[in-house]
Amino acid sequence: MSNRTFTIDYENDTFLKDGKPFRYVSGSFHYFRALPQKWREILKTMRAGGLNAVDIYIQWSLHNPKDGVYNFEGIANVSDVIEAAKEAGLYVILRPGPYICAEIDNGGVPFWLFNKYPGIQMRVADKNYMTEVSKWYAKLMPHFVPHFYGNGGPIIMVQVENEYGAFKKCDKVYKEFLRDETLKYTNDKALLFTVDRPFDGELECGRIENVFVTTDFGLANDTEVDAHWKALREVQPKGPLVNTEFYPGWLTHWQEANQRRPAEPLAATLRKMLKDGANVNFYMYFGGTNFGFWAGANDWGLGKYMADITSYDYDAPLDEAGNPTKKFHLFKDVIREFLKENLPETPELRPTMKLEDICLKPKMKILTDEGRKALGTPYDLEKTFKTPPTFEALNQFSGFVLYETKLPKFTRDPSQLVVMGLRDRATVYVDNYLVGVLSRENAINSLPISAGIGDKLQLLVENQGRINFQVADDLKGILGDVTLQCYDEPYVTKLENWTATGYDFEDYAKIEEVAFGNKSEVEIYKNGVLNEGPVIFAAEFDCEELADTYIDLTKWSKGVLFVNGINLGRYWPVAGPQRTNYIPKELLQPKGNRIVLLELQKAPSDKCVSFSKVALLDD
């Protein structure tokens, strides 16, 4: 198979596959946002949509969640992803990062690097960062070597870095290091490329010598498309035109309207690009679900921070469940005008079901002594911290950290509590009783504390997702001082001598024991407000049929959903726009299904959840 080649004919502006002109229309598919049982179904549907290639990011943090720990099984089985693409008749465009953005926590770069190397600089020629990238590639890339096109596999192209120009560092040493590190494994058996946006000099900043350059853009009229191609030609005068990220939809944050993009104008943009002879990759073609605590955030909005919702539907040609949408059919018709191929039949829509309401029981308050023992991790109980330590300093990925200290005596009633550098959201308690909420997203970092209400200040800080684009140092917890300040005096008391208890919720066995290990229940206030901290709610249920469903949490407030041991992500219907969480049929069983909610703020009076046959996201 050594005679297989994938190269570029720069003179004729085309790719050459085995010496013959070749063009691709591909779609992005994130294996980490779908259950492995669904991979083949989704990839076959993508092929049925007219695609001849699939674009696959690799999430470093999924495969290397802790220093020295590697995972390539289950949802992390990258070899099986490639095999599934090959079975579907799709070539593969591999995007290993190591930074990928992708609206994934920290852009896919593992959080533990901040713990191992305090002050580490990501995505530049930092010795420690480059050392860890080399170690990671030595674990990752051998999985792909047999699958490179020149070795007989479907991988035709491999990306080096990702939208590096937007990072504005333009670090030539780092870029060439990563190129050479990639070449160690591809060995010219697959084509290397970069991608950058066509404005503000980003293409030039991200360009790497001897690496093919591509660009990315979304909905555009003919004049705008021509302008984008012109920008690409200014840094790469010849070669095939490629839009590596053509956006048929967009990402959505909590507290904003669900993002949509119109189908017909997008089809017109697609037709224009294909008439120009371009190669196109849809980002996303299938989005999926931000499982667990993997959803990222952006450096936008009121507080320069906006967290991504759990659904990654993206208004893509395939919806969150993998079903074809109007865009699927429109785009397929356009693609078939240019790629004359026999395509498989479009699969039927996945059936959905609406289960009867399920009422849950409150099983444990997590801030009680019992809750701390069952679900918490006390850090350094033999001493206190002068200032609150970050999640990263505690080597905790996500979830929550409870910071506690003794309140000083104060006579100004009330006095202003100020938390500087909050990342990201803090529920404030005094002597285990709720007094308010602070929010990085909404630029609220202070609240009044009444004198004499208690002795112990408690800040339960939630990591809502690390920023995934442009920013590369989004540490979590409390990064500044916590002070008590009187309204009418300049005097400020800096609060010190903190303890920290972590609630990472990574060990589901602990949650299972709390939720189902005994039959006792805890009392909560009749109005449902959880004044004494978050509560674990649980129930069991059966399914007469197995089909996809959407759990409707509209009556609940904010928290985390677990079904049959899998963390299906955050919910926050009071903020919206997402009101349902997707439950794939592959996760369910006829008898003995288990649901757990970690509710943070308020439960409905009946403590019940409903279900829907469709996703509910407010426009």
**Coil/strand/helix, residue 179:** helix
Cα–Cα distance for residue pair 136/109, rounded to 1 Å: 11
Burial code of 177-213, b = ≥16 C-beta within 10 A, e = fewer?
bbbebbeebbeebbbbbbbbbbeeebbebbbbeebbb
**Coil/strand/helix, residue 516:** helix
Tokens 């901290």 belong to 533
CB-CB contact of 196 with 155 (8 Å): no
Q: Which of 163, 181, 320, 404 is catalytic?
A: 163
**Coil/strand/helix, residue 417:** strand
3-state secondary structure 344-355: CCCCCCCCECCC
Backbone angles phi and psi of 282, in degrees to 5: -80, 125
Torsional sign, CA 209, 211, 212, 215: negative
CB-CB contact of 455 with 431 (8 Å): yes
599 is catalytic: no
Task: Please list the residues that pair with 566 across neighbouring strands.
Answer: 563
Burial code of 258-286, b = ≥16 C-beta within 10 A, e = fewer?
bbebebeebbbbbbbbbeeebbbbbbbbb
Q: Which residues contact 254 (CB under 8 A, 6 or more apart)?
A: 306, 307, 308, 309, 441, 572, 575, 576, 577, 578
Residue 248: cis peptide before it, omega within 30 degrees of 0 = no
Q: Which residues contact 340 (CB under 8 A, 6 or more apart)?
A: none
Q: Which of 161, 245, 404, 441 is catalytic?
A: 245
Cα–Cα distance for residue pair 296/312, rounded to 1 Å: 11
Q: Which residues contact 69 (CB under 8 A, 6 or more apart)?
A: none
Q: Within 13 Å and on the Cβ side, how many CA atoms surround 472? A: 20
CB-CB contact of 53 with 156 (8 Å): yes
Characterise 373 by phi-psi region: left (phi > 0), alpha (psi -120 to 50), beta (else). Answer: alpha
Cα–Cα distance for residue pair 471/198, rounded to 1 Å: 20
Burial code of 387-405, b = ≥16 C-beta within 10 A, e = fewer?
bbbbbbbbbbbbbbbbbbb
163 is catalytic: yes
Of all helices (H) and strands (E), which one includes residue 364? strand 361-365
Cβ-based burial of 234 (10 A; exposed 0-12, middle 13-18, buried ≥19): exposed
Cβ-based burial of 6 (10 A; exposed 0-12, middle 13-18, buried ≥19): buried
Task: Please list the residues that pair with 69 across neighbouring strands.
Answer: 66
CA torsion 525-528-534-538 (nearest 10°) is 100
**Coil/strand/helix, residue 408:** coil
Q: Which residues are catalytic?
A: 163, 245
